[in-house]
Amino acid sequence: MIDSVFLLFVGIIVGMFGTLVGVGGGFIVVPLLTMAYGQSPQVAVGTSLCIVALNALSGTTVYIKQHRVDYRAGVSFSLATIPGSFLGAYLLQQVSAAAFDIGFGILILMIASYMIWSKRNEQIQNVPPQPAGAHRYSMTLGTVISFFVGFIASMAGIGGGVVHVPAMIYLLKFQPYIAIPTSHFILAISATFAAASHGLVGKVAWDFVPFLGIGAIIGAQAGGHLSHKIKVKWILWGLILALVMVAIRLIGKHL
């Protein structure tokens, strides 16, 4: 009973925070399952993807109702992640996991540092929200970034939002108001397919899914509605915190 309540609570936190910053929350679920419940990394990732998919699907319904999803970018970028994820899955067998995790962790810390000091933060604060689809951006650059996102997400076993959201805001110049919901839309598609593939090969601990999943669905609804009431700078700081937590997990597990 205690575990059920605890897992439900964790799911709510994962869903709320993951939806607010557009990263899914897998960086919380995977360490929980491996360290607290002794699940193998492969099963922890598969189970986490199920929770992330439920989180993203729930949060996306809120963002769709708020008209904050750029569907052209969402569909195009989702498609671009697919070949990258296949390449990542292949290279995962050829490259040292420790070298990749540490290198990627350092990259994420560099992204977080850039976000802290970027002058773009002032521009974001002073520009009124645009409707979804109004922003013009380089589709070529967005496609390349999305391919890379699919690649690193597959290699590192995390949601691609930790790279997609900063890239959309700072490289493609999306407003956070649109970038985070659109990233969540992309995550809903990619995580659902990834979770299904893990489920088919038996790499999901289904006992954890009901409580964590229900919590994530509830939390995502709350996070989507709260996003209107939280200032952009605090959402960006939440994203920076998520990046640092992911980097610590990637680097720390090899030290």
The per-residue DSSP string of 103-118 comes to HHHHHHHHHHHHHHH-
Which of 20, 45, 58 is CA-nearest to residue 208? 45
Number of domains in the chain: 1
- Measured in degrees and rounded to the nearest 5, phi and psi for residue 222 equal -65, -45
Per the listing, tokens 């773009």 go with 120
pLDDT digit string, tens, across residues 100-140: 778 888 988 998 999 888 877 777 766 666 777 778 889 99
User: How many other C-beta atoms lie within 10 A of the C-beta of residue 30?
Assistant: 25
Is there a contact between 90 and 208 (Cβ–Cβ < 8 Å)?
no
Give tens-digit pLDDT for 21-71. Answer: 888 787 788 888 888 888 887 788 888 888 988 999 999 999 999 999 999
Closest CA to 182 of 111, 87, 81, 85: 81
Q: What is the mean pLDDT of the chain?
A: 85
Helices and strands per DSSP (H, E), number in the chain:
11, 0
Structural domain range at position 145: 2-252
